[in-house]
Structure 1
Amino acid sequence: MQLSPYLNFNGQCETAVKFYEQCLGGKIEAKMTYGESPMAEQTPPEWRDKIMHASLIVGDKVLMGADSPPERYEEPKGLSVLLGSDAPAEAERVFHALAKNGTVQMPIQETFWAARFGMVVDRFGIPWMINCDRATE
């Protein structure tokens, strides 16, 4: 069994997935617009370029997403995407990249449980927690 985050966007999925590809060092594996789907004829013309499904591979994990039709979109609440790193410098790099034009909820810092931990809502409205565990000795 595999669990994978599936993120919903308000018309910005393509931009977000390209940003995450660069920021997280991933690779876009799949991307389909509503206009490329079998539902193209039932899709309003202004929505045909929006993303029906996208998959981004980051290491051995998959991050997926799509644009939700405007009448069905809801901002994420009550969840965060947790990103773990083994290196404090990498955790800080990713945190600051996600924070650009976003909202820092907790600056990245050392905590009693982590070498680095921070919380941010990125410019696409996605909440993230960045965690770098303490080195075990």
Structure 2
Amino acid sequence: MEAYLNFPGNAEEALKFYARCLGGGVVGDIYRYSAMPPGEMPVPPGWDNKVLHATFESEGARFMASDVPPEQSPPGYSGFAMSVYVPKDKARAQKVFNDLAEGGKVTMPFAPPFWGGSFGMCTDKFGVPWMVSCEVE
């Protein structure tokens, strides 16, 4: 299974942010609304260059993303979190957490939880919830 994140018109900005935070980046082409055959679905004015579909990959993990036109279901994230596991490198895990939290909201500071290791939760500036963990305290 892979996560598919929907954005209200800023998917490309989010993907660049995730590349900076997580390393990696978009694999393959970014498909644009302008590439759809005429009549496939209505495209709002000004959305020709928005992201119809993209796949992001970092260290073997991947997710997909797109922009969702305003007249479709608006994106909203609840009931899940994107999870990043950084093995054996607490400093890198802390950096990933700090970068994802930049401009967003920390919901649980990155620290040793009662079960061991290091763990933190945040919601990024795009409204996407994240959990970052490492087995090292």
Normalising by structure 1, report the TM-score: 0.89
Aligned equivalents of 2:17, 2:116: Cα separation in 1: 26
CA distance in 2, matches of 1:115, 1:33: 41
**Residue of structure 2 in register with 1:66 after alignment:** 66
What displacement does 1:32 show? 1.1
Same amino acid, percent of matched pairs: 38
Q: Which residue of 2 aligns with 1:78?
A: 79
- Name the Cα RMSD after superposition: 1.7
Instruction: Quote the Cα distance in structure 1 between the aligned partners of 2:35 and 2:58.
Output: 25
Distance 2:4 2:133 in 1: 20
Matches of 1:128 and 1:113, distance apart in 2:
18
1:18 match: secondary structure: helix
The counterpart of 2:106, out of the listed 86, 104, 107, is 104
CA distance in structure 1 between the aligned counterparts of 2:5 and 2:15, rounded to whole angstroms: 10
Looking at structure 2, the residues matched to 118 and 57 of structure 1 have their Cα atoms a distance apart, in angstroms, of 22
Structure 1 unaligned segments of length 5 or more: list them.
none
- Out of 125, 130, 133, the residue aligned to residue 131 of structure 1 is 133
Q: 1:28 aligns with which of 8, 26, 29?
A: 26
CA distance in 1, matches of 2:96, 2:39: 36
Return closer, same or farther for 1:119/1:39 CA change in 2, 3 Å cut-off.
farther
